[in-house]
Structures are given as structure tokens and as C-alpha cells.
């Protein structure tokens, strides 16, 4: 079907950076693989061969994904559509590793967003080709922006804001995020950040950071490594915090001086004003968004996932860590 002469919308999903077969085989589809001896990773992971190899493979998945994106862009050019098609490239969550995917820290929420603007359209106000823009954008803004650029007014109840084009809204001062149950793992965290600080509120501070999640226990090699090193007393203080049986009720991080969110400032008096401001902003958002996390799920739902994940994983062999 030819779409050259009429508007179209297409969404293409790539699985490489999601753990599974595509992750495991990504290194087979690129010309030069990442060197485990030269990778850099956050200090809350132990410097171990397992960590380095896993991180290198993660980089391989990104390079394999990049190659596929190139195929799509080439096809647009071949079909004569490159100069009048807006392309958004974005991720839906952070990397599939401990303290990233499913966690509302920067490593879980600060996902890539690249906009390829066609030559036939004037550059949108406030943006310039090749520029890295630091404004705060939420994932829900993509839907509103796509509608607006298509000449369709976003519905009034849509929470997303238009960030490109003639109907662009003023930049956000805050962005929000959270976590609830993932598979059998029951949790609730809410977070807000401005251009410098991130505030988090843990609603289950009496639970360990690394609650049981069989998908991760069976597929994240660094998790198995850290459990083993923790048993041997071989983790640094920063790394060992992930093994704590409890969590702080509140967390506050200065993202300028502490990009890995290691130093919790929530209890320091000199940051009380920042914490109280962000806490109040979060409270307002919880009300305005009618946050559903305040309503406990029917116990049969986590019970179902507990049964399902046991059946899916407990019969599989785990990777042995020396």
C-alpha cells in the first residue's frame, strides 16, 4: 500500500534492549562490540567480570538497535518521505538492570528522546538542529504533541502537554513518576523532580529494596552476583545499601552534584525547604491525577502473579556465579 501522497502515523518497536533472545544475540549483528574492560557503570554495581560483561552486552544491544533505526530512516529516504516526516525516537523505560527499569530514579525514568525534524518544515520555536535541550518532558507529552502536530487538538482531559509546534505549552517545571506492583512484587513509590532535585516517597519503607522478583532473579546476572558478594561481605557501602532489609521513607538527591543518586539529602536540615517544596508539589499531583496507587489491589491479583511467576521460573536453572 502506497502512503507517499497521504498522511500516515506509524509506531515501530524494537526489542533489542529488552532482556531475552534479542538482547542475548545483539552482539552478532554489529561490526564492533563493546569491550568489557573499557566500560563505565554506576558505583552501586560491583566492579566484577560479570558486571562488565553484562554492561558491555547492554551497550551491544543499543548499537544493534541503532543499526535498525538506520534501516527505518533509509527506507523513509528511499520512499521519498524523509523530508516531510517527523520522527520521534524514544525509550519507554530505563535499562533492564538493578535500580533502573521499574525504579523511579534517573536510571529508570531519564529515557532517550530524539526528534528528527524534516527539512520541509521550519524548525519549531525554541529548538535548533543538533541541539541538546534540557527541558523537562514527560512520556505522556508525546501523545499530545503528536496529535497537535497532526492538526488535532488534544482532548481537554489529556494530561500530556504539547512541547513542539505552534501550540506548544510553556516548559514543565516538574515531572512525575512512580512505581507500583511489577509481576508478583508489590510496591508503591512516587517521585517528582525539577531541573535539579529528585524527591522520592516510599510507601513500603519496611520492605527491602530488592524484594523477590523471579524474572529479575533469573535474568539479571548482576543481581545474582550482588547477592553472592553480599553474603561474603565484599560489597562497598554504596552497593550494600541495595541489600538493606528496609528503605528510607523519603529520598532527595541533587542531580547536579550526585547524578547517580547515591547521597540521600532528605534528612539534612539545609535541604528541608527543597524537600518540603517537592513533597507539597507531589501531594498536589497525587490529588489532581487521581492517583490510583492509593487503592490496594484485590489480593487475588498479586496471588495470581505469585503463582504464575513460580511456574514460569522456579523450574529453570539459574546462572551460577563463582
pLDDT of residue 155: 92
* Residue 117 cell numbers, joined: 525534524
Closest to 177 measured CA to CA, from 132, 215, 140: 140
Q: What is the pTM of this model?
A: 0.92
pLDDT of residue 252: 98
- Sheet containing 197-202, strands listed edge to edge, beginning at the edge strand earlier in sequence: 175-179, 189-193, 197-202, 250-254
Q: 282-317: per-residue pLDDT in tens?
A: 999 999 999 999 999 999 999 999 999 999 998 887
- Find where cell 533509509 sits: 74
Q: If DSSP states are collapsed to H, E and C, what string results for the chain?
A: CCCCCCCCCCCCCCCCCCCCHHHHHHHHHCCCCCCHHHCCCCCCCCCCHHHHHHHHHHHHHHHHHHHHHHHHHHHHHHCCCHHHCCEEEECCCCCCCCCCCCCCCHHHHCCCEEEECCCCCCCCCCCCCCCCCCCECCCCHHHHHHHHHCCCCCCCCCCCCCCCCCCCCCCECCEEEEECCECCECCCEEEEECCCEEEEEECCCCCCCCCCCHHHHHHCHHHHHHHHHHHCCCCCHHHHHHHCCCCCCEEEEECCCCCCCCCCCCCCHHHHHHHHHHHHHHHHHHHHCCCHHHCCCCCHHHHHHHHHHHHHHCCCCCCCCC
pLDDT of residue 322: 66
Q: 99-119: per-residue pLDDT in tens?
A: 999 999 999 999 999 999 998
Closest to 26 measured CA to CA, from 68, 57, 70: 57
pLDDT of residue 255: 98
Which residues, in sequence order, are bridge partners of residue 136?
172
Phi, psi of 294 (to 5 degrees): -75, -15
Q: 63-79: per-residue pLDDT in tens?
A: 999 999 999 999 999 99
pLDDT of residue 320: 66
Name the burial class of residue 207, with classes exposed (0-12), middle (13-18) and buried (19+) by CB atoms within 10 angstroms of its CB.
middle
Residues of the chain with pLDDT under 50: 1
Which residues, in sequence order, are bridge partners of residue 172?
136
pLDDT of residue 1: 39
Amino acid at each position: 500500500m502506497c502512503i507517499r501522497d497521504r498522511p500516515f502515523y506509524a509506531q515501530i518497536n524494537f526489542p533489542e534492549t529488552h532482556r531475552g533472545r534479542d538482547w542475548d544475540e545483539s552482539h552478532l549483528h554489529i561490526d564492533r562490540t563493546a569491550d568489557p574492560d573499557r566500560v563505565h557503570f554506576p558505583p552501586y554495581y560491583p566492579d566484577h567480570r560479570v558486571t562488565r560483561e553484562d554492561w558491555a552486552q547492554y551497550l551491544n544491544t543499543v548499537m544493534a538497535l541503532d543499526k535498525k533505526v538506520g534501516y527505518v530512516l533509509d527506507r523513509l529516504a528511499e520512499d521519498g518521505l524523509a523530508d516531510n516526516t517527523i520522527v520521534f525516537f524514544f525509550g519507554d523505560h530505563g535499562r533492564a538492570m538493578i535500580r533502573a527499569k521499574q525504579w523511579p530514579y534517573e536510571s529508570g525514568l531519564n529515557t532517550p528522546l530524539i526528534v528528527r525534524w524534516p527539512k520541509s518544515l521550519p524548525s519549531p520555536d525554541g529548538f535548533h538542529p543538533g541541539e541538546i535541550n534540557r527541558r523537562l518532558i514527560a512520556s505522556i507529552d508525546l501523545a499530545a504533541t503528536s496529535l497537535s502536530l497532526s492538526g488535532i487538538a488534544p482532548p481537554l482531559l489529556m494530561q500530556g502537554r504539547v512541547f513542539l509546534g505552534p501550540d506548544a505549552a510553556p516548559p514543565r517545571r516538574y515531572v512525575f513518576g512512580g512505581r507500583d506492583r511489577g509481576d508478583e512484587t508489590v510496591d508503591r513509590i512516587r517521585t517528582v523532580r525539577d531541573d535539579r532535585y529528585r524527591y522520592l516517597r516510599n510507601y513500603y519503607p519496611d520492605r527491602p529494596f530488592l524484594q523477590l522478583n523471579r524474572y529479575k532473579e533469573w535474568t539479571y546476572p548482576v543481581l545474582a552476583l550482588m547477592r553472592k558478594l553480599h553474603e561474603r561481605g565484599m560489597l562497598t557501602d554504596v552497593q550494600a545499601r541495595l541489600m538493606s532489609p528496609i528503605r528510607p521513607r523519603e529520598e532527595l538527591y541533587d542531580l547536579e552534584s550526585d547524578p547517580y543518586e547515591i547521597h540521600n539529602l532528605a534528612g539534612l536540615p539545609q535541604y528541608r525547604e527543597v524537600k518540603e517544596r517537592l513533597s507539597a508539589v507531589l501531594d498536589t499531583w497525587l490529588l489532581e491525577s487521581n492517583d490510583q496507587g492509593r487503592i490496594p489491589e484485590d489480593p487475588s491479583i498479586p496471588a495470581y502473579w505469585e503463582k504464575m511467576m513460580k511456574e514460569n521460573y522456579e523450574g529453570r536453572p539459574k546462572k551460577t556465579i563463582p
